[in-house]
Structure 1
Amino acid sequence: MAPKQLNFITGNKNKLSTVRAILGDTVDVQSQSLDLVEIQGTIEDISADKCRRAADVIKGPVLVEDTCLCFNALKELPGPYMYAGHTSFKWFFEKLGLEGLNNLLAAYPDKSAQAVCTFAYCEGPGHEPIIFQGRVDGKIVPARGPMNFGWDPIFEYEGQTFAEMNKVEKNKISHSFRALEKLKDWLEES
């Protein structure tokens, strides 16, 4: 059964407004910022564990989100280590920067990548999280466009980097949009 109110675990107002815009009046989305320990593992394992931890703290229904960048030549790495909200992201991204991320693929002819957004929903303590994931296929290119969000200037989709797209255009095709559409369908069916 779908909740009437959902605690989205984020301190990021932009993420909150995006989630509210896409989910519409399907559910009342409130936000709460929590500092949660994050495990290492697969994209899905990290999201599910984080969701369980949040549900235990909140004692009710929660939604968590993680976004990452996966290089196909590197078998989906850096993947979970490039989650925008993951503690390793800041360290990893500060050390490498956009040029360093490009250099990770210098020895490989395959520059294809996936932008991945994973939302995990948990009804509350003791319940198993449900995963909703969106992926966008693209490729890694030298940086183009403004530096508004992490790796957007190097992820190209159909000739434009995410950084070169306006927000409305990006939100119609983004990995976040695709994951939220799945969540919205599930909420409406429940």
Structure 2
Amino acid sequence: MTLYFITGNKHKFSEAKQIFPEIEQLDIDLIEIQSMDPKEIIAAKLQEALKQCPGPLFCEDVSLSISAFQGFPGPLVKFWNKSGSNQERVQRVHTQPDHSTKVVCTIGYSDGKEMHFFEGVVNGRIVMPRAASDFGFDPIFEVSGTGKTYAEMSLTEKNKCSHRYLALLELKKFLEKSKT
């Protein structure tokens, strides 16, 4: 049975394809509720997606929690990404002494009957833009212990430490365990 990743984002699909070579992308418009609870957002996306595709399928949502802003923007990261250039966003963060940031990818999976959730968490900090990328906060998020932003990494490098990769691995373990 085909596993569908509900996303219109080619970058996200490319990352997921490295872990699940057999997945198919399903680019459907979903109403995305606004909430500070990623699981609530994902559950609503899954319910909407299941109306158009019986499953099995998964979708994801990313939160960017900046310590200096008490965890903001959290799951509202898409709006934050549109609030000016990377340079402008970094300058806002750098008005505060603490630049530490946590990125969380929450994946929701449904087989058409039940929903399951998986998380991948990566710690880092917001830095001045380094390397060109049109993928969200990749040029300004430096992963702890690497000295590199996501944008400075190859896809293979990024997939060894990214929040999405870690969440996808949890999904993969779950699916493999479910087969037995």
Asked if TM exceeds 0.5, the reply is yes
1:27-66 equivalences in 2 (<5 Å): 28-41=22-35, 42-66=37-61
Residue 15 of structure 2 contacts residue 155 of structure 2 at CA under 8 Å; is this kept in 1? no
Match of 1:86?
A: none
Residue 7 of structure 1 contacts residue 61 of structure 1 at CA under 8 Å; is this kept in 2? yes
Which consecutive residues of structure 1, in runs of 5 or more, have no partner in the other structure?
83-88
Cα shift readout 1:85-114 (whole Å, capped 9, x = no counterpart): xxxx2x542332212322332342111001
Q: Does 1:17 find its partner at 2:3? A: no
TM-score, normalised to structure 1, is 0.83
Cα shift readout 1:141-190 (whole Å, capped 9, x = no counterpart): 11111123121111011311111111111111111110011001000000
Which consecutive residues of structure 2, in runs of 5 or more, have no partner in the other structure?
none
Number of residue pairs aligned between Structure 1 and Structure 2: 175
Return the letter of the residue paired with 1:153: P
Match of 2:141?
A: 155
Residue 11 of structure 2 contacts residue 135 of structure 2 at CA under 8 Å; is this kept in 1? no
Cα shift readout 1:22-52 (whole Å, capped 9, x = no counterpart): 134xxx4222111111111112211121112
CA RMSD of aligned residues (A): 1.8
Runs of 4+ in 1 over 3 A off after TM superposition: none
1:70 Cα shift? 1.6
Q: What is the aligned-residue identity percentage? A: 39
1:128 Cα shift? 4.0
Residue 48 of structure 1 contacts residue 130 of structure 1 at CA under 8 Å; is this kept in 2? no
Return the letter of the residue paired with 1:16: F
SS for the counterpart of 1:160 is coil
Residue 52 of structure 1 contacts residue 128 of structure 1 at CA under 8 Å; is this kept in 2? no
Q: 1:144 aligns with which of 106, 116, 130?
A: 130
